[in-house]
């Protein structure tokens, strides 16, 4: 079952803070722990930066969030479909660009649980499995309830005390 959560449009690198806020609000809403939150935040914002800077002309992107049975899925898609190819690129510039792209993709792939690239790199889907986090929260709550029932505190005072 998929549930569309929201979508925002990011026009340039100055607006990446909007993507960060969007991701942070979703993680707060779904009670994603701080340890996992960092992975979601860094991978999704790196993907947004990558998609904006990819190609000769910086592009506008959409960031869409979907809740699935597995967890949260973020789709980052370039809006500008017109691509300008570099005619006579300097080999050193090309090598540096490829190295930068490799670094960003390594970060994204390392931090997300599943990554899919569509439409010749114009769309990236990042999936983060959060079902186990719900189980972890449930276990923590059960332990807290057990601790509560183990302690013997008087809720109502006796005549003597």
Q: Write the pLDDT tens digit of every residue in 102-144.
A: 778 888 888 998 999 888 778 899 999 876 555 666 777 788 8
* 3-class state of residue 130 by DSSP: coil
What pLDDT is recorded for position 65? 94
Full residue range of the structural domain in which residue 123 is found:
3-150
Residue 40 in domain: yes
Q: If we measure between CA atoms, which residue out of 137, 136, 6, 138 comes closest to residue 67?
A: 6
In total, how many domains does the chain have? 1
What pLDDT is recorded for position 85? 46
Residue 158 in domain: no
Q: What is the pTM of this model?
A: 0.69
Residue 81 in domain: yes
**What residues pair up with 158 in beta bridges, in sequence order?**
none
Residue 95 in domain: yes
Residue 156 in domain: no
The CA radius of gyration of the chain, in Å to the nearest whole number, is 22
Tokens 């707060």 belong to 28
Q: Write the pLDDT tens digit of every residue in 38-77.
A: 999 999 999 998 888 876 667 889 999 999 888 899 999 9
Q: If we measure between CA atoms, which residue out of 78, 83, 74, 144 comes closest to residue 115?
A: 74
Residue 157 in domain: no
Instruction: Supply the CATH number for residue 47's domain.
Output: 3.30.565.10
Main-chain phi, psi angles of 103, to 5 degrees: -60, -45
Residue 143 in domain: yes
């Amino acid at each position: 079952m998929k549930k569309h959560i929201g979508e925002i449009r990011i026009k340039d690198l100055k607006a990446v803070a909007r993507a960060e806020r969007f991701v942070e609000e979703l993680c707060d809403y779904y009670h994603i722990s701080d340890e996992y939150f960092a992975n979601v935040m860094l991978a999704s914002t790196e993907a947004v930066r990558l998609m904006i800077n990819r190609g000769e002309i910086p592009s506008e992107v959409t960031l869409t969030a979907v809740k699935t049975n597995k967890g949260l899925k973020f789709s980052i898609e370039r809006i500008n479909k017109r691509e300008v190819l570099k005619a006579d690129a300097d080999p050193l510039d090309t090598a540096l660009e490829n190295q930068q792209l490799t670094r960003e993709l390594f970060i994204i792939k390392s931090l997300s649980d599943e990554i899919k690239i569509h439409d010749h790199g114009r769309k990236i889907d990042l999936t983060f499995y959060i079902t186990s986090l719900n189980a972890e929260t449930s276990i923590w709550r059960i332990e807290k309830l057990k601790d509560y029932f183990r302690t013997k505190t008087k809720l109502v005072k006796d005549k003597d005390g």
